[in-house]
């Protein structure tokens, strides 16, 4: 949950969670967004929780319903192709205040608690995922406003998936 804390969401923020499912970080974002709001219906911000997999996005929706907090939009789009929106009378490009890029990764940071991963793990998983991670990060940078905040994170220790991407 450290990535959400580093994102530092506040009431009124317009937030994009690019790779959201299964939804624990999205739920945390919503809780921050509604923190201190007396009337939960009247928050000024929102979270768009996106995932490329429809089944995983459905799980996210199911988890979020338990909180019954407004201001959540769920989309099913490849994060690399997330659309740019135009808004206002001048049709300016819409930018998010905060963007979370918790990208798909090899998961080698979870080897100690996920014994099943040992069966499929090999050192080159990071090489396979690096181009995808880089494209998601670049798209996120295009969608965050100037002086906004983007947090890139993985659950991997592999520098190919972390430092090399950044």
pLDDT exceeds cutoff 60 at 30? yes
Question: How far is the C-alpha of 151 from the C-alpha of 153, rounded, in Å?
Answer: 6
* pLDDT the model gives residue 35: 76
- The band of 90, judged by pLDDT with boundaries at 50, 70 and 90, is confident
Of the candidates 87, 101, 105, 155, the residue annotated as catalytic is 155
Indicate the range of 24-28, 78-82, 107-111, 138-142 predicted with least confidence. Answer: 107-111
Could you give the C-alpha distances from 97 to 57, 67, 151, in angstroms and in order?
22, 23, 12
Contacts (Cβ under 8 Å, ≥6 apart) of 58: none
- Cβ neighbours of 132 (radius 10 Å): 18
Which structural domains are found in the chain, ordered by start?
2-153 (3.40.50.150)
Average pLDDT (22-38) is 83
pTM (predicted TM-score): 0.88
Q: What is the pLDDT of residue 17?
A: 97
Split at pLDDT 50, 70, 90, the class of 124 is confident
Using alpha carbons only, how large is the chain's radius of gyration in Å? 16
- Residue range 44-70, pLDDT digits in tens: 889 999 999 999 999 999 888 887 777
The residue whose two tokens read 């009247």 is 42
Q: Is 155 a catalytic residue?
A: yes
Name residue, tokens 């940078």. 141
pLDDT-derived band at 157 (thresholds 50, 70, 90) equals confident
């Amino acid at each position: 949950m450290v990535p959400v804390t580093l994102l530092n969401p506040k009431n009124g923020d317009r937030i994009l969670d690019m790779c959201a499912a299964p939804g624990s970080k999205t739920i945390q974002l919503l809780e921050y967004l509604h923190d201190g709001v007396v009337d939960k219906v009247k928050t000024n911000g929102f979270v768009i929780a996106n995932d490329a997999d429809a089944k995983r996005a459905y799980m996210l929706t199911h988890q979020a319903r338990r909180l019954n907090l407004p201001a959540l939009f769920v989309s099913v789009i490849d994060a690399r192709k997330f659309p740019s929106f135009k808004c206002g009378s001048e049709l300016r490009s819409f930018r998010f205040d905060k963007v979370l890029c918790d990208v798909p990764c090899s998961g080698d940071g979870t080897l100690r608690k996920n014994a099943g991963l040992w069966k499929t793990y090999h050192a080159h998983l990071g090489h396979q995922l690096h181009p995808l991670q880089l494209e998601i990060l670049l798209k996120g940078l295009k969608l965050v406003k100037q002086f906004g905040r983007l947090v890139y994170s993985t659950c991997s220790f592999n520098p190919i998936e972390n430092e090399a991407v950044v």
